[in-house]
Structure 1
């Protein structure tokens, strides 16, 4: 496996070592709560992400989130659907199944691409993807110009790579930012960093359905090993709210507020370790220097994407 040039600094293009992400920001009300909390704590949040999916938001809600995130100088990342665990098929729900949140069949690839096209048209510049095939289709669409070239693709923690070979493949498929399992050791995170230059996204605190790991004390070591890295703040002992709706809005808002407080706690820890000055500046989004599969492969006409874009 070819490693990236280790002589190049392991930083974001702005020379930052880390950025902060608040996940599970499920709709305009939750985003408003996040923005209020960041102002309360004077906390820089670079990215907010959502997990219920593009299909669970109407056009007005997506536009409202795009506008609010832009005004707060945050990147907004929405999840693509569908996913195997929500589908009518039963294999994703069987213990030992490897399907998980991946999509089933060409129709679900088309549904995912349609979500991506709709989100991009409404101004969303970052999409969360949980299926390697969908990731590659979207990257090829980016290369061809069927989707904006500046659209960032983020691999979900639901299918994140756990070894350096897999990490390198996911970057080459088109991921700009890659969620990895929250239980990887600091040494294992360093192994992934040695395999590519995509941003590594790590849960400093994982939600219960992803293990419930609480690793705040390790944040300085994680920054040193995994930079450039997004530090993510899930919430242990919180209900699984996907897919969210009005029946869960109060819980989603309260959880969003607490996620920001958790990030504030780790920001203070990083400051005590002298690392706060190495955080990316507010509004930073660029991720550069990535390795892809050869352009002649990425340029091949993607029938699935073409059908949706040309519809």
Structure 2
């Protein structure tokens, strides 16, 4: 295998996952090693509850993300979420929908069709996902979650051409599924601004990806059940050490999948959001115990895609 490993190194990629992962010297623009993300913040009420819980528990939340997509929020709800995020100086990232799992794709529900579920299916769905990005941007929101390489590629070109705001940021969802340094670099080359790695990456695998890309990495330290259900709070200090700059992302085990969300699920979404913040408090306490010198961003933070009014 020596020749292949040497060729990878010649291409600027690691030749293997390191036995002793190095400490990352890369940082966010403000010099911080880590930031906190709370996912599944599905509407204005959930966002307000998450921010209130964060204030009560003294958790600095830098980014909130959502899974149902801008397409399932009214114009008023989009503006309300943007306004709340502006006031809190927090990045708000909404999913670019729809994808194959949300339309008539039979393959996406078949036993072997899982990889298709997060893809934009056909030209019309590509158009629809890009229109969702446009509508989200028009509401003042400056960050979208993307799962499909084609959507990322075209959206990036739209940003370069002025069809989307120059400060629009593309956060890659864990559902894109690229799982090695070479493939994640493709997403970076196509215009990604951060990358959510697979939930089961070891610390060594995270270190290998960090060696290959400058992108901030989004890392679930607690993953939803349908993403593995891992609870990795005792690893947070090591994850921050080797993967910085990193968004420490608090999902929630033993929680229902609420996508697509709506008013019929708001009480559940609010309760789940509050518990994610509580889990963040637990995780951050462990981080401070084992890596007391780890540096977090303060708000407002340079480089956060906070909405605009």
TM-score (norm 1): 0.89
Q: Unmatched 5+ residue regions in structure 2? A: 1-10, 15-21, 305-309
Partner of 2:55: 39
SS of match in other structure, 1:239: coil
8 Å CA contact 1:200–1:229 kept in 2: the answer is yes
SS of match in other structure, 1:194: helix
8 Å CA contact 1:75–1:285 kept in 2: the answer is no
Partner of 2:261: 244
Q: Is 2:67 the counterpart of 1:57?
A: no
Q: Quote how far apart the aligned CAs of 1:273 are.
A: 2.3
- In structure 1, distance between residues paired with 2:177 and 2:270: 26
Cα RMSD of the aligned pairs, angstroms, is: 1.7
Partner of 2:38: 22
- In structure 1, distance between residues paired with 2:24 and 2:39: 30
Partner of 1:306: none
8 Å CA contact 1:82–1:112 kept in 2: the answer is yes
- In structure 2, distance between residues paired with 1:75 and 1:109: 25
8 Å CA contact 1:267–1:276 kept in 2: the answer is no
TM-score (norm 2): 0.89
Among 278, 296, 310, which residue is 2:295 paired with? Answer: 278
8 Å CA contact 1:216–1:266 kept in 2: the answer is yes
- In structure 1, distance between residues paired with 2:159 and 2:245: 23
- In structure 2, distance between residues paired with 1:159 and 1:275: 33
8 Å CA contact 2:100–2:121 kept in 1: the answer is yes
Going from structure 1 to structure 2, the CA distance change for 1:135 and 1:275 (only over 3 Å counts) comes to farther
Q: Unmatched 5+ residue regions in structure 1? A: 288-311
Q: Quote how far apart the aligned CAs of 1:176 are.
A: 0.4
Partner of 2:199: 182
Residues 34-78 of structure 1: per-residue CA shift (max 9 Å, x gap)? 011011011110000000111110010010000111111211000
SS of match in other structure, 1:108: helix
- In structure 1, distance between residues paired with 2:81 and 2:92: 8
- In structure 2, distance between residues paired with 1:182 and 1:283: 28
SS of match in other structure, 1:19: strand
Q: Is 2:234 the counterpart of 1:217?
A: yes
SS of match in other structure, 1:278: coil
Among 211, 229, 240, which residue is 1:194 paired with? Answer: 211
Q: Is 2:139 the counterpart of 1:129?
A: no
Residues 263-297 of structure 1: per-residue CA shift (max 9 Å, x gap)? 1111111111244651112232517xxxxxxxxxx
Residues 181-226 of structure 1: per-residue CA shift (max 9 Å, x gap)? 1100000000111111111001000001111010000000100111
- In structure 1, distance between residues paired with 2:236 and 2:289: 12
Q: Is 2:179 the counterpart of 1:169?
A: no
8 Å CA contact 1:161–1:180 kept in 2: the answer is yes
8 Å CA contact 1:46–1:285 kept in 2: the answer is no
Q: Is 2:78 the counterpart of 1:90?
A: no
SS of match in other structure, 2:192: coil
Partner of 1:2: 12
8 Å CA contact 1:160–1:178 kept in 2: the answer is no
8 Å CA contact 2:13–2:211 kept in 1: the answer is yes
